[in-house]
Each structure stands twice: as structure tokens, then as C-alpha cells.
Amino acid sequence: MEGLIKGLVDVALGVNDDDRDQSHEEQRSRSSWAEVVSGDRSQHDKPHEEERWQEESHSYRASIRPHKEQYRPQHKEGQSESFNTLNRPHKLDEDEDKDEWQTVGRPSRKNQKVPKENWHSYKLPPSEQEYSNEVEVGAGVEPSQDELADLSRACDKLWDLDLNRLIPGKDYEIDCGEGKKVYQKEDMAEGSLFTWVSDDVFRKPTFARFLSLLDNYNPHQGCKEVVTSEERQEQASFIEEISRTAPIKYLHKYLASKGIASESYQDFKRMMTSLWFDLYGRGGTSGSSSAFEHVFVGELKQSGEVSGFHNWLQFYLEEEKGRVDYQGYIFPRQRGQTPDSETQLLTIQFEWNGVLKSVSSTLVGVSPEFEIALYTLCFYVGGEDNHIQFGPYAVNIKCYRFGNRIGSIFPIADS
């Protein structure tokens, strides 16, 4: 009887399963992620000042620096709203969208532009799409018995199969600036994180299709997303493009061998589209978020916090537009591991639209297909903590679930 009464009350109040699951997640307390990342707890880090992990938002409860304007969204559900404190729309302006180039100038590389001449074609029907050729890898995408038995070995194989991974110094350059503790709020970076990125990077098919998705989302958490038919086609085009690469082919073989995915590649692609792009509730509103939006694009909570936002391409573009202010890297847990221009796993601090994210982590220079494959594999095969090794990096892929959906997933540098 109690359950029946509760159900009737939920219906009357408009509470759905997503909101109920989310409320349950909000009640779970967690220890400070700062200790996990930096391995250090300073005397300045008093209990009442701790920045504690919020599983619902998957971000730190970070203070807003007083000299920055605090993010305070003013909107009603369903209304058009501004993207950030700079009063820029979250979609490209109509005139800007007609151009073949998007200007994203920065002091060190004035008038740098990101090629987007093919982006409009990604909205076309499937019969009018042009995709790159299937990668020729042969037996290289067949997982071995050792890899099927060991998630870390499988992730290392994905690293080797990432043929589109960029080379530091050749395809891009970063300047890590100075280091800091998580609790320190001073800006320790004189300039931007990215010094430059080659234009050729944005012409790579999987990169270009990934970039075309980034302006499809309203970043205000709790605002219902409206997905157009053209945007759904962009999603399908992206999944089709990455499905022609070695990491995704390997992922399919691996999941099919485990009985997790269908042997049919078409069914597998539909599964991937659903996993990453299906909408669910976050911030009290159903249909307001997705795995792709949270992990790769980022969201802004009404309380003034950055949530998600773990992709380097999104970071670069937002930095070029003046929406991201890089604040410096977080000191590693072990000495001798100070990041430099060659490092491709970074733990950093930054502001997005004037909102401080005290600690965040990202893989730099990896391809979109690698990240999608890595996170999908860990979600289906791993647990909340996935201690793995790929290339030179010992990593914990942290994975939080909303039922059978990805709530958040991101890398943390292991000691």
C-alpha cells in the first residue's frame, strides 16, 4: 500500500524514473576526489572546505573566484537562452553558420580558422553521405584470449589501434604552464593550454564529424534538449564514420565475443547510437542530458558548477572562443611525473564561462573513435574503477552509471 501511495504521489508531482534514480545517487556520499588525484591533503584543506565529489554532477563543488562573474542561468524550460556569461548563443549564429570557416582567433595565432566546409553535408540523408573507406586491419581487430580475459590488455590494444592519434609537436602543441594544488585558486598559466593545432587535424573525417556535433547542445543542465532530424542524422553520420576505424571494429569484436553486442554490425551501430546519444534526465528534468553531452561537451549546473567536459577538442575550441580560461595543471601524485608538451594525459584546472572547475582530467591528442571505444568498453566490461595501462600511461577510468546509461566516465592518472 505504501508503494502504491508513493507511486500516486510521484505521478501527481511529475517525478519520473530518471529523477528518482538521480535523487538516489545524490544521497550517496563520497570521499574527496582531490586526494585521489593529487595524493595530497593539505592543512589548508579543512573538512568544511573540502571539495567533495558530487556523483549526480560528476564534478567538484568548486568555489567561484570573486573577480569573475558567477554563472546564474536565467531561463525557462524550452526557451532559447544564451550559452554563457559572454551572452553568446549556444548555437552558431545564422550568418556564421553559412560561412565555410569559423574564425577562432587567439593572440599567438591570429585569424586561425577551423575548417568546417563539409559540416553541412553531415546533416544530409544517408543516401547522400560520403564516408571514408573501411580501414584495412585484417586480423588486428580480433581480440586475443589474453585481451578478452584482461581489460587492461584490451585497452592497451585500443591505444595501438588508434591510427588517428595525433603527434605532439607535429600536429599540435600545448603549454602546461605552472602546477598547483587542487585547493589553490590562483591562475598559474600565463597563456592558453593549446599553443596551436594544425588545420589538417580538423579535416580528418572522424574529427570533423565529432566537431559538427558540439554545437547541438544547450549546456544549461536541467534544460530539455530539442533534437532535430538533422542533428539525429549528424549523430548517425558520426557513428557510421567511426565504425569504419580500427578501434571501433575491435570494440565490436570484443563485445560480440562476450555476448554483450550483436554479431550484426548494423545492430551494434544502433546500440552505440543509443548508448551515447539517447537523452535522459539530469538536474531534475527528463530529456535534458546524454552521455555524449555530459562527457564530451560539458554542462553547467544552475548552482554554478562545471559538470563533465572531458574532451580535448571541445576544450581547444572553447579556449579559442574565449570561453575557457586555462588555470594550470594539478601537481601529480608522484614526483618526476610533471607534465610537459609531450604529455597526453593531463589533470588540470580551468574556468568555463567564468565558472571554476578545480580539477578535471582529459586525454590530449587522441582520436574521437579511441575515446568512444575506450569508454564504451569500460562501461560494458568494467566497474566503477578500471585500473588499466595503455601506452605509457597508468590510468583509472572512472565510470558512473545511471541505470543502463553512462552517467559520467573519464580518466584519472594512477600513481
Provide the annotated active-site residues.
294, 310, 357
| Torsion angle in degrees (nearest 10) through CA of 261, 266, 267, 270 | 110
Do 176 and 136 contact (CB within 8 A), yes or no? no
* b/e 285-303 (16+ beta carbons within 10 angstroms → b): bbbbbbbbbbbbbbbbbee
* b/e 322-353 (16+ beta carbons within 10 angstroms → b): ebbbbbbbbbbbeeeeebeeebbbbbbbbbbb
* Residue 193, all three cell numbers: 593550454
**What is the β-pairing status of strands 172-174 and 194-197?**
antiparallel
Instruction: State the residue for C-alpha cell 576544450.
Output: 315
Phi and psi angles of residue 156, each rounded to the nearest 5 degrees, phi first: -65, -35
Do 123 and 234 contact (CB within 8 A), yes or no? yes
Do 212 and 236 contact (CB within 8 A), yes or no? no
- In DSSP terms, which residues pair with 305 in a beta bridge? 301
Cα–Cα nearest to 273, from 402, 376, 154, 151: 376
* Residue 306, all three cell numbers: 562545471
Q: Provide the 10 A C-beta neighbour count for residue 15.
A: 17
Do 105 and 334 contact (CB within 8 A), yes or no? no
Do 113 and 100 contact (CB within 8 A), yes or no? no
* Residue 154, all three cell numbers: 584490451
User: What is the rounded CA–CA span in Å between residue 158 and residue 247?
Assistant: 6
